[in-house]
């Protein structure tokens, strides 16, 4: 799964990278500890072209009467994305990219202590998570919500977790966004080996209140 990530790319650089028109209400960056229910940066295709919008991280199906009416859906499994009632329609019609610089996963010691790891691209490029989105609410309370699509971990990341976010390369963005026809299902596979790297970081990030660049500084494993 993916339960926490970082985004450090400036908003104007994000808009340029994804050739997207930015909203005026994008979340502030950098944020080294993006948590569920936070606003995140979402790239989607609209009638006027790509947009970069702020969405709530936590997909809200249309039948939820309140934001807490059911489970917090921050991840969507690729294997069942097209079948689950919550995601079935979004899988066909509302796919998006969720922008990150890196993300966190945790292992446990024999004593049960949680040890955080930070994962990023080896080439230093931003990460584009595959996502799905859903508008939820009515009138002034209407908001965009999203979830990150996950797959079984590849061999490299399986050392620290059995799942990983679906990370898309630039050549695959148009297909995932539905800009070049059908066939996005073929993208829903574990990422290529060797694209990512990871290292231990300070357990301070175990708190969702922690902030600052020190959270992604490496410490001895």
The reported pLDDT for the residue numbered 123 is 97
CATH number at residue 83: 3.90.1680.10
The reported pLDDT for the residue numbered 101 is 98
The reported pLDDT for the residue numbered 194 is 94
Q: Are 161 and 145 in contact (CB under 8 A)?
A: no
What's the rounded Cα separation, in Å, for the pair 87 and 107?
29
Low-confidence ranges of the chain (pLDDT < 70): none
19 inside domain = yes
What's the rounded Cα separation, in Å, for the pair 78 and 149?
6
The reported pLDDT for the residue numbered 112 is 84
Total tally of structural domains belonging to the chain: 1
202 inside domain = no
What's the rounded Cα separation, in Å, for the pair 140 and 91?
26
User: CA angle, 7 as apex, 11 and 177 as ends, to 5°?
Assistant: 70
The reported pLDDT for the residue numbered 138 is 87
Which pairs count as long-range contacts for 183-187, CB under 8 Å and 24+ apart, including other chains?
184/95, 185/82, 187/130
205 inside domain = no
* Cα separation values, 196 from 79, 88, 123, Å: 22, 29, 8
The reported pLDDT for the residue numbered 64 is 96
212 inside domain = no
207 inside domain = no
The reported pLDDT for the residue numbered 110 is 85
The reported pLDDT for the residue numbered 172 is 97
The reported pLDDT for the residue numbered 141 is 84
133 inside domain = yes
63 inside domain = yes
Q: Catalytic amino acids?
A: 2, 105
The reported pLDDT for the residue numbered 57 is 98
How many of the other CB atoms lie within 10 Å of CB of 216?
21
Q: Are 96 and 146 in contact (CB under 8 A)?
A: yes
The reported pLDDT for the residue numbered 1 is 75
Question: In terms of residue numbers, what domain contains 174?
Answer: 5-113+125-193
153 inside domain = yes
């Amino acid at each position: 799964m993916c339960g926490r990530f970082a985004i450090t790319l400036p908003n104007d650089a994000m808009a340029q990278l994804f050739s997207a028109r930015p909203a005026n209400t994008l979340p502030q960056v950098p944020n080294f500890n993006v948590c569920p229910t936070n606003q995140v940066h979402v790239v989607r295709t609209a009638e006027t072209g790509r947009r970069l919008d702020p969405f709530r991280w936590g997909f809200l199906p249309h039948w939820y009467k309140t934001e807490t009416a059911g489970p917090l859906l921050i991840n969507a499994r690729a294997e069942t994305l097209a079948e689950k009632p919550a995601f079935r329609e979004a899988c066909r019609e509302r796919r998006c990219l969720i922008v990150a610089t890196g993300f966190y996963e945790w292992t446990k010691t024999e004593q049960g202590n949680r040890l955080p790891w930070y994962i990023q691209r080896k080439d230093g490029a931003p990460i584009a998570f595959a996502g799905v989105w859903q508008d939820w609410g009515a009138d002034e309370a209407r908001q965009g919500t999203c979830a990150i699509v996950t797959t079984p971990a590849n061999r490299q990341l399986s050392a620290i977790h059995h799942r990983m976010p679906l990370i898309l390369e630039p050549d695959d963005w148009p297909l995932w966004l539905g800009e070049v026809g059908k066939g996005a299902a073929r993208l829903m596979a574990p990422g290529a080996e060797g694209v990512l790297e990871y290292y231990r970081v300070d357990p301070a990030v175990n708190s969702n209140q922690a902030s600052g660049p020190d959270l992604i500084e490496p410490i001895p494993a």
